[in-house]
Amino acid sequence: MIAAENLDLSFKDLSLDVGAAGEENNKILKWNLPLKELYKLACSFYKEKSGKAIHLSYEDNLKLVAFTQQAAHGPLDLSEAPPLGMFDVIGKDRRIAWQQLGTITKLQAMEGFIDLLDRLCPLLKPYVEAIKKDKEEKARRAEQEQIQRTEALAAEKVRQEELQRLENEKNREELHRRQLQDALNQQTYHQFKEYAEIQFPGNPEQQAVLIRQLQNEHYHQYMQQLQAQVATNLARLKSISDGEDDDNPTAVVCENGTSTNETAEYAGAAANTKENSQFEFKEQCDSDNDSGDYAVISPANMWSKPDIKLFKQEVMAGKGDGVIRVNHGDTVTVKVPTHEGGSCLFWEFATDSYDIGFGVYFEWGKPPTTEVSVHISESDEDDDTIEEDEEVICAEDLECGPVQSSQTSSVASALGTRNPISIIIPIYRRECHQEVYAGSHTYPGEGTYLLKFDNSYSLWRPKTLYYKVFYTR
């Protein structure tokens, strides 16, 4: 056996017990790495670089091989070693080098291999450091990805909880709305029924339709009055808190129903059919005024997109609703009924070369069909207007001018069941030949959207219109 110093090896603080080698291997660090892991890296480096990046002498190779044998099998036992051939000089030299290591432990042999290879080849330590940094970077990335996944899961959970909360709130509001409307309907049913029997005697179906329309109108009017009452009460309270005298106190309106006087007045107006016609009754909801047309409608969202060429290609390829030629002086109305499975309408449109007028209206009432339809007219008047003595006569609403008093009685019966219309976006010209115009609007209720494309201001130029409409849940 040769001494460790004869091999220029240094075994410092290595009082190891062979039986506890596996446990201590997990505790001993060298170059801030577990000894066994570092030994594997050193062996890989020796196999890859020997004869390429490093050139060792025959004696040094014998020592390194002896260390690997000692680390793998422990001290040499000649009784169990296979016999060598007569001419196996290299095998004999390797066995002698292995035998000279004596009884050092496997862990000592691993460290001896590492130290000897490090002294013979200075590239070993940078090689190990590079692999160590790469491993640490992978571990850091894996930890970061795990943190991101955890945060994403937490964010998704919060989002789902918020969606569930909004859905529950929406359901509660809908339930409250139905309860309120049912209570109002019970209060006014008999008055409206008497009124409908006079308007459509012997026709129960038309009576039911009219009763339902009147009940809906009563509900929307009540909600508008309730909102105005609440706003007035808040203003009164604010003035009182500011020290002002409240000489005209306002009664607080109950949240779940109208007052007795209000219901009686409304029912009395509906029952007084001898002095009021159906047209005059519905005119209260159809008229164009500044305080609101039929119900409080949220504003629409509008934006634009620059990829107008791609949009036109998609529409022409059949991925949109279609292409329409709008002649000069014409107005195209695209009627889009609300869908029972939807909650919001989206639209996109563009034109070739020139601008076009655009606006959005909403016609209240159950749509007669669920299909999207296109109507072309030479003016912006509604398709349901009535001609009398070759003159166009229409009810007073958002799309027609006011009706003269002499004409009211002649068209009242024809427009008795006309649905009221509200303005969502007024018509004005859009530079839609330069970019795609898009927008959306949340359903205010059951009805039909009227998307109007107005070219009535153009005397000579027709416009090619590309449009898409769709709804979301």
pLDDT single digits (tens) 57-100: 899 998 999 999 999 999 988 878 788 888 888 888 888 899 89
Indicate whether 345 and 448 sit together in one domain.
yes
Query: Is the confidence at residue 2, as pLDDT, over 70?
Result: no
Indicate whether 319 and 452 sit together in one domain.
yes
Domain that holds residue 376: 301-380+418-472
What is the average pLDDT value for the chain, to the nearest integer? Answer: 77
In a domain, 72, yes or no: yes
In a domain, 401, yes or no: no
Query: Is the confidence at residue 226, as pLDDT, over 60?
Result: yes
Give the separation between CA 224 and CA 219, rounded to whole angstroms.
9
Out of 220-224, 259-263, 452-456, give the one with best mean pLDDT.
452-456
Ranges 3-7, 25-29, 405-409: which has the least confidence: 3-7
Which has the closest alpha carbon to 431: 305, 332, 345, 328? Answer: 305
Q: Region 37-59: what's the mean pLDDT?
A: 87
Give the separation between CA 433 and CA 360, rounded to whole angstroms.
19
- Whole-number pLDDT of residue 419: 83
- Predicted confidence (pLDDT) per residue in 323-355, tens digit: 999 998 999 999 999 988 888 999 999 999 899
| DSSP-assigned letter for residue 50 | B
* Tokens 């019970």, residue located: 186
Burial (0-12, 13-18, 19+ Cβ within 10 Å), 148: exposed
- The helix/strand/coil state of 168 is helix
Indicate whether 185 and 308 sit together in one domain.
no
Within 10 A of 166 (CB to CB), how many other CB atoms are there?
10
Indicate whether 201 and 340 sit together in one domain.
no
Indicate whether 108 and 197 sit together in one domain.
no
Indicate whether 342 and 431 sit together in one domain.
yes
Out of 303-307, 334-338, 398-402, 412-416, give the one with best mean pLDDT.
334-338
Question: For residues 16 and 95, is the Cβ–Cβ distance under 8 A?
Answer: no
Of residues 222 and 383, more confidently modeled: 222
In a domain, 186, yes or no: yes
Which residue among 233, 256, 286 closes a domain? 233
Query: Is the confidence at residue 468, as pLDDT, over 70?
Result: yes
**Confidence category of residue 112, pLDDT binned at 50, 70, 90:** very high
In a domain, 153, yes or no: yes
Which residue among 218, 233, 248 closes a domain? 233
Indicate whether 215 and 93 sit together in one domain.
no
Q: Region 208-232: what's the mean pLDDT?
A: 86
In a domain, 83, yes or no: yes
The total of structural domains in the chain comes to 3
- Whole-number pLDDT of residue 409: 47
In a domain, 406, yes or no: no
Tokens of 407: 């004409």
- Predicted confidence (pLDDT) per residue in 382-391, tens digit: 444 433 333 3
Q: CATH no. for residue 462?
A: 2.60.120.680
Give the separation between CA 349 and CA 436, rounded to whole angstroms.
6
What's the pTM value of the predicted model, to 2 decimals? Answer: 0.36
Ranges 113-127, 197-211, 267-281, 366-380: which has the least confidence: 267-281
Indicate whether 363 and 425 sit together in one domain.
yes
- Predicted confidence (pLDDT) per residue in 172-217, tens digit: 999 998 998 899 898 888 888 888 888 788 899 988 998 988 888 8
Indicate whether 340 and 422 sit together in one domain.
yes
In a domain, 200, yes or no: yes
Indicate whether 160 and 225 sit together in one domain.
yes
Radius of gyration of the chain (CA): 45
**Confidence category of residue 417, pLDDT binned at 50, 70, 90:** low
Ranges 124-138, 158-172, 347-361: which has the least confidence: 124-138
Indicate whether 368 and 328 sit together in one domain.
yes
- Whole-number pLDDT of residue 378: 74
Indicate whether 94 and 48 sit together in one domain.
yes
- Whole-number pLDDT of residue 163: 95
Q: What letters, b where the CB count within 10 A reaches 16 and e where it falls short, cover 368-392?
A: eeeebeeeebeebebeebeeeeeee
**Confidence category of residue 25, pLDDT binned at 50, 70, 90:** low
Residue 303 belongs to what H/E stretch?
strand 301-305
In a domain, 249, yes or no: no
Ranges 129-138, 369-378, 408-417: which has the least confidence: 408-417
Of residues 242 and 337, more confidently modeled: 337
- Whole-number pLDDT of residue 431: 93
Question: For residues 350 and 316, is the Cβ–Cβ distance under 8 A?
Answer: no
